[in-house]
Amino acid sequence: MRLVTSSFVNEYLKQDNTKYWLDQYSDSGQETLICQQWLRSSAAKRCIYESLYGDLFKSPKKTRILDIGGGLTALTPILAAKHDYRLVDLLAHDSLKHANQMMDAVKRNFVSVEDWATLKKSRYDLILANDIFPNVDQRLQGFLETYLPQATEIKVLLTWYETPRYYSVKRTDGEELMYMLAWNGKQLQGVLEEFSASISSPDLSIFKRATESVFPNGRHTCIVKFNGIPSP
């Protein structure tokens, strides 16, 4: 487990590998992609991306990867060309047209526009979830229960707030207006305690040490690696 701090980001910026890869592979059309714009504008997001995905650009080994909610950037088709890569994303930020262009370039259908909870069971070397739980999707416990038995390794970026933050939302399957309260560190720690045996280098005390945020909205983030449950 690693807390994302300013010192972590500053150390990363000595090389800024994510920016290098973006500069290498981007064309002008891809600069309109929302997730790409986030990477371009945020050193912290580039640092996190490198921590989760960086090894995949360097490794000669073809890896079977499931990426939950990873979004579309110029680096997405590079991953799909190098690895057995599957992106499961509702495409809330970018269009299916962009996804189809990437799949045409790679000559493989690797994007699934669906909820991760509906996927058929399969086995993956690596499962990634970058800044999805529990700020966008509060089903963290269900995700871990579902996918730890399907993975060799899971890497996630987790997000929480220590000052109350909530969102007004509308159900897509009904007329209700609802309020979603963002999780705090205590809530997140409570879920992770149930899976501590699977966490690589567990350190749940980081939720008490998180006093600094590297993001303008004040959120805290940490990178967590889980060891999956071996196949029987």
> How many other CB atoms sit within 10 Å of the CB of residue 20?
13
Residue 161 belongs to some domain of the structure: yes
Number of structural domains (the chain) is 1
- What is residue 87's three-state secondary structure? strand
Residue 104 belongs to some domain of the structure: yes
Is residue 62 pLDDT above 90, yes or no? Answer: yes
Residue 53 in contact with residue 128, Cβ under 8 Å?
yes
Is residue 199 pLDDT above 80, yes or no? Answer: yes
Residue 69 burial class via C-beta count within 10 angstroms: exposed 0-12, middle 13-18, buried 19 and up? buried
**Domain around 41:** 2-225
State percent of the chain over pLDDT 70: 99
Residue 232 belongs to some domain of the structure: no
CATH number of the domain that residue 61 is part of: 3.40.50
Residue 70 belongs to some domain of the structure: yes
Q: What tens digit of pLDDT does each residue of 68-127 get? A: 999 999 999 999 999 999 999 999 988 899 999 999 999 999 999 999 999 999 999 999
Residue 198 belongs to some domain of the structure: yes
| pLDDT value of residue 209 | 84
Residue 219 in contact with residue 213, Cβ under 8 Å?
yes
Distance between CA atoms of residues 121 and 98, nearest Å:
27
Q: What tens digit of pLDDT does each residue of 5-47 get? A: 999 999 999 999 999 999 999 988 899 999 999 999 999 999 9
Residue 230 belongs to some domain of the structure: no
Q: What is the mean predicted confidence (pLDDT) over 54-69?
A: 94
Is residue 232 pLDDT above 70, yes or no? Answer: no
Residue 231 belongs to some domain of the structure: no
Q: How far is CA 151 from CA 7, 78, 148, in A?
A: 31, 22, 5
Is residue 59 pLDDT above 90, yes or no? Answer: no
Q: What is the mean predicted confidence (pLDDT) over 195-212?
A: 92
Mean pLDDT for the chain overall: 95
| pLDDT value of residue 214 | 96
Residue 157 in contact with residue 223, Cβ under 8 Å?
yes
Q: What is the mean predicted confidence (pLDDT) over 153-158?
A: 98
Amino acid at 174: G
> How many other CB atoms sit within 10 Å of the CB of residue 215?
13
Residue 135 in contact with residue 219, Cβ under 8 Å?
yes
| pLDDT value of residue 105 | 94
Is residue 230 pLDDT above 80, yes or no? Answer: no
DSSP codes, 145-187: HHHGGGEEEEEEEEEE-SS--EEEEE-TTSS-EEEEEPP-HHH
Residue 97 belongs to some domain of the structure: yes
